[in-house]
């Protein structure tokens, strides 16, 4: 099967085959880091998040799939005192202290006109921009919300992969955040996510999860 592949490219081709056969998997420590022992944090160690870590975080989160590769997520990383103060009045009471204390708070948002970028993002189907432009604003909004939610989840897993802790939040006034951070109307906020190095003392008891039988069917 590899005979038709130029020798120079055989290593890559073999790596791809192995990957598709499921032989490349995360080790147990990696699974713990991303899923099993990872928690939602409500307090932070006194340790800043470096700007290059935020960049590394996005560079991982941008890679997993979105519909037609449309990548509607936009992120504002709120780190400065000034920007944190702008965020403060938008937060539900229970989310204020932990957000003000977090080294960074990501405003995970969706681009309203995400379809403008389709010629760049999905050149394989040149008419994709026109297809999306012909949709109702509600249908496009659903796509943007789906994509930004998925990308926001990728962002949280990327953060964990880089050793950060996350604290996602719905408890905020979306209209107020949009007015404070997206005054031009180009983006709409989806959810907030505190980022930092988690303080274990801030953890609540772990909530239960559904077992496979309760949540899944194999047909
Ligand atoms: C989209 C989303 C919104 C959330 N909103 C809030 C919030 O506003 N305030 C809060 O304290 N926790 C919030 N949470 C945290 C959840 O309650 C927490 O992730 C969940 O209980 C699981 O906790 P664990 O990861 O420690 O097991 C939110 C989580 C998600 C994913």
Q: What is the pLDDT of residues 172-182, one digit of tens each?
A: 999 999 999 99
Which strands make up the sheet holding 187-196, listed edge to edge? 73-78, 104-111, 187-196, 165-169
Question: Whole-angstrom Cα distance, residue 202 to residue 108?
Answer: 23
Q: Coil, strand, or helix at residue 97?
A: helix
Domain assignment present for residue 1? The answer is no
Same domain? 94 vs 13 = no
Question: Whole-angstrom Cα distance, residue 91 to residue 177?
Answer: 9
Report residue 143's pLDDT band, with 50, 70 and 90 as the boundaries. Answer: very high
Same domain? 126 vs 26 = no
167 CA distance to ligand 1 middle (Å) = 7
Task: Give the residue numbers spanning the domain of 22.
Answer: 9-38
Same domain? 176 vs 134 = yes
Q: How are the residues of the chain apportioned to helix, strand and coil, as percentages rounded to the nearest 5?
A: 50, 15, 35
Q: Which atom of ligand 1 is nearest to the CA of 206?
A: 27
Give the per-residue pLDDT at 4: 43
73 CA distance to ligand 1 middle (Å) = 20
Give strand pairing partners of 157. none
Same domain? 68 vs 169 = yes
pTM of the model: 0.92
Domain assignment present for residue 131? The answer is yes
Same domain? 126 vs 196 = yes
Q: Which residues line ligand 1 (CB under 6 A)?
A: 39-40, 94-95, 168-171, 191, 206-207
Question: Whole-angstrom Cα distance, residue 24 to residue 5?
Answer: 22
């Amino acid at each position: 099967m590899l005979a038709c592949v130029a020798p120079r490219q055989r290593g890559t081709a073999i790596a791809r085959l192995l990957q598709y056969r499921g032989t490349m998997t995360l080790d147990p420590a990696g699974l713990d880091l991303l899923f099993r022992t990872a928690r939602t944090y409500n307090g932070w160690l006194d340790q800043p998040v470096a700007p290059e870590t935020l960049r590394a975080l996005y560079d991982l989160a941008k890679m997993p799939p979105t519909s037609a590769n449309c990548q509607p997520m936009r992120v504002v990383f709120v780190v400065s005192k000034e920007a944190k103060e702008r965020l403060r009045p938008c937060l539900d009471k229970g989310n204020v202290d932990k957000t003000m204390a977090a080294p960074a708070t990501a405003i995970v948002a969706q681009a309203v006109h995400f379809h403008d970028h389709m010629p760049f993002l999905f050149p394989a189907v040149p008419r994709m921009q026109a297809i999306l432009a012909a949709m109702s604003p509600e249908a496009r909004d659903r796509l943007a919300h789906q994509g930004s939610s998925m990308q926001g989840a990728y962002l949280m897993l990327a953060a964990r992969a880089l050793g950060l802790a996350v604290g996602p939040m719905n408890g905020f006034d979306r209209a107020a955040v949009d007015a404070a951070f997206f005054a031009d109307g180009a983006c709409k906020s989806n959810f907030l996510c505190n980022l930092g190095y988690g303080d274990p003392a801030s953890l609540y008891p772990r909530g239960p999860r559904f077992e496979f039988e309760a949540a899944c069917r194999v047909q």
